Amino acid sequence: MIVWRNMFVIAILCVAFGTAQAAPSVAVDLSRLDSEAPADAAALEQALVMRLLQEGFAIDPLTAQPTIVVAVAGGDHELVLSARSANFERSRTIDTSGSSGAQLQLELVQKAVELARLAREAAPPRPTVAALEPRDESAALRDDVIVTPARPRSPRWLLGAGVGVESTGNIEASLQARYTIAGGFGAAVRAAATQPDEREISVGEQELLAGGSHEWSFAHATALDVGLLGGVRRHHFELAMPLGDRTGTRFDPALAVPVRISLRSWRAFELALWGIAKLSTEREHVNGTTVLWHRDAFTVGAGVGVAARF
C-alpha cells in the first residue's frame, strides 16, 4: 500500500510540474497521524493532493523545502489540521468521535485546503517576469560601469644643463640626460667641461660619464637623485712658453657620484641643486721646480641646473 501511495504522489508531481511552477509549493505531512485514527492515511493523502492541485498549488516533497506544509496529526478521538509557512502558522482541531469514512475524509480535506489558502494569502507576492520593467542595456552599462580617468604617464626622459664650481676653483659646465626605467631606477649620461687658463699654460678638460641612478620622491614637487657613473676624461694642455712639448692630450678613466635635488613646480620643467664627487688620475704640469698647473685625483663640485622632463 505504501509503495502504491508513493508512486501515486510521484505521478501527480510529474504531471503538475509543468503547469504549476509559479504557484506556491505545498507538502503534505501525515507522519504524525496515528495508525488508530479513523481516517485512511493513503486515501486522505491522495484526496488532499488532488484538491490542492485543483486549487492551483504545486506539490513538493518535504525534503524540497516547500513554501507551505499542510499536516494532519492525531489519534482515535481527534485530529489536528495545521498549515505553516514562513509568514503563517495556524491549526484546527477536528473531533472525530463517531465519524469515519468518506464524510470525515471530505471534511478533513476541505478544512486543510482552507488553511492552505490562508497561508498562501499571507505569503508575500512573487515577482513575475511580466511585472519586471524592461531595462535599457545602455543605461545598465552606465549604472554598473564606473569609468576611471586614466592617470597621466609620468615623464621618463630628462634633459638638463648646469653650471657650477669645482674644488679646484674651476668653473664647470655640464649637460645631462636620464631615462627612467622602472621603480625609480634609470640610466644616466653626463658630459662636463672646464677651461682653466693660466699665464704660462692653458688646460682644458672634458669628461663623458654614463651609468645608473635612483630617484626618490619626497613630496609632490621634490625629488632626490643619486647616481654612480663611469667613463673617460680628456686632458688637453697648451704651454705659452717655447718648449719642446708645448701641447698634448691625455685620456684618463674617471668615476663620479652625482647627487641632484630637484624642485618640480611644473610638470615639464625643474630647477635643481647638484653636487658631485669625482675620482680620476692626478695631473700636474711643472717647469723645473715651478708648478704651472695641478689637479688632485679626487675633486668635488656643486652648482645649479635646469632640466626639461617629457
Residue ranges and CATH numbers for the domains of the chain are 2-122 (3.90.950), 157-309 (2.40.160.20)
State mean pLDDT over 155-183. Answer: 94
User: Could you tell me the three cell numbers for 69?
Assistant: 506544509
Alpha-carbon dihedral of residues 281, 282, 288, 293, nearest 10 degrees? 120
Helix axes 101-122, 41-54, angle to 10 degrees: 40
Q: Is the pLDDT of residue 21 over 60?
A: no
Say if residue 41 is exposed, middle or buried (CB neighbours under 10 Å; 0-12, 13-18, 19+).
middle
What is the rounded distance in angstroms from the CA atom of residue 227 to the CA atom of residue 233? 18
> Does residue 232 contact residue 279 with C-beta atoms inside 8 Å?
no
Beta bridge partners of 216: 224
Q: pLDDT per residue over 83-124, tens digit each?
A: 998 888 998 888 877 776 788 888 888 888 998 889 888 876
CA separation, residue 61 to residues 1, 14, 163, 227 (Å): 18, 12, 91, 78
List the single range of 24-38, 77-91, 201-215, 218-232 with lowest mean pLDDT: 24-38
CA 269, 275, 279 angle in degrees (round to 5)?
Answer: 130
Reported as a single tens digit per residue, the pLDDT across 234-265 is 999 998 877 667 888 999 999 999 999 999 88
Reported as a single tens digit per residue, the pLDDT across 60-81 is 888 888 889 999 888 777 888 8
pLDDT over 50 at 32, yes or no: yes
φ, ψ (nearest 5 deg) of residue 256: -150, 150
Nearest partner of 52 among 77, 83, 89, judged by Cα: 83
pLDDT of residue 306: 96
pLDDT digits (tens, 9 = 90+) for 1-20: 444 455 455 555 444 444 44
